[in-house]
Amino acid sequence: DAKTTQPPSMDCAEGRAANLPCNHSTISGNEYVYWYRQIHSQGPQYIIHGLKNNETNEMASLIITEDRKSSTLILPHATLRDTAVYYCIVRVERSSASKIIFGSGTRLSIRP
Amino acid sequence: DAGITQSPRHKVTETGTPVTLRCHQTENHRYMYWYRQDPGHGLRLIHYSYGVKDTDKGEVSDGYSVSRSKTEDFLLTLESATSSQTSVYFCAISAGDSGYTFGSGTRLTVV
């Protein structure tokens, strides 16, 4: 699976949009971009994933560049409960060895 | 999380004793995974399973074994616990075409 690069930390004001970048310049054509987050001491939580089109769900939006070498996770109206470590991962879906390897992630702090 | 439970939630054990952690799912998902998480290392994959009796090693498998005799249960065994295995252990499940669902974790302390 391709490697991802994320900033180690970011902060955002409550109520504003939080934009978390991720670089995955070696991504292959059949690899999806996944985002998870981990709130302190809890298990990671799935947020969203996509292949090449932008995706939106009730939690967030995922913007993938046309060349697919980078993506941005957008939390439209950040709240204090969004303080967490956010992980960007690329992996092949429907693989017989469908495992994901976590990197260091981005520690997002939401300030009141 | 709904559909996946880990037991025990907390355990303290002595060095050299065997320990088994259990992951139980009610989602009938094919894939199951064991991760450990330590400060400064993030989540690291120990072992995973892609079906009953089908398992494979992850990044940090030394000192651990797993078994999956039925779809719903994935057991992680430390044959002889060491202090370096003090960690938080997370189990995850996946249907393969969607995201993972993680359990709440087991905090293991080896003294």
Amino acid at B63: G
CA dihedral A105, B66, B51, A96 (to 10 degrees): 40
For residue B90, give the 3-state DSSP assignment: strand
The residue to which tokens 């300030």 are assigned: A111
Can you give the pLDDT of all 111 residues of chain B as single tens digits? 469 999 999 999 999 999 999 999 999 999 999 999 998 778 899 999 989 999 999 989 999 999 999 999 999 999 999 999 999 999 999 876 668 899 999 999 999
Chains A–B, number of C-beta pairs less than 8 Å apart: 55
From chain B, which residues contact A within 8 Å (Cβ)? 1, 31, 33, 35, 42-45, 48, 50, 56, 58-59, 88, 90, 92, 94, 96-105
What is the Cα gyration radius of chain A? 13
Q: Is the peptide bond before A21 cis (omega within 30 degrees of 0)?
A: no
Would you say residue A105 has pLDDT above 90? yes
Which tens digits make up the pLDDT trace of B9-41?
A: 999 999 999 999 999 999 999 999 999 999 877
- CA B89, CA B76: separation in Å to the nearest integer? 10
DSSP character string of B57-110: E-TT-TTEEEEEEETTEEEEEESS--GGG-EEEEEEEE-SSS--EE---EEEEE
- CA B38, CA B88: separation in Å to the nearest integer? 7
- Section A17-32 average pLDDT: 92
pLDDT for position B62: 95
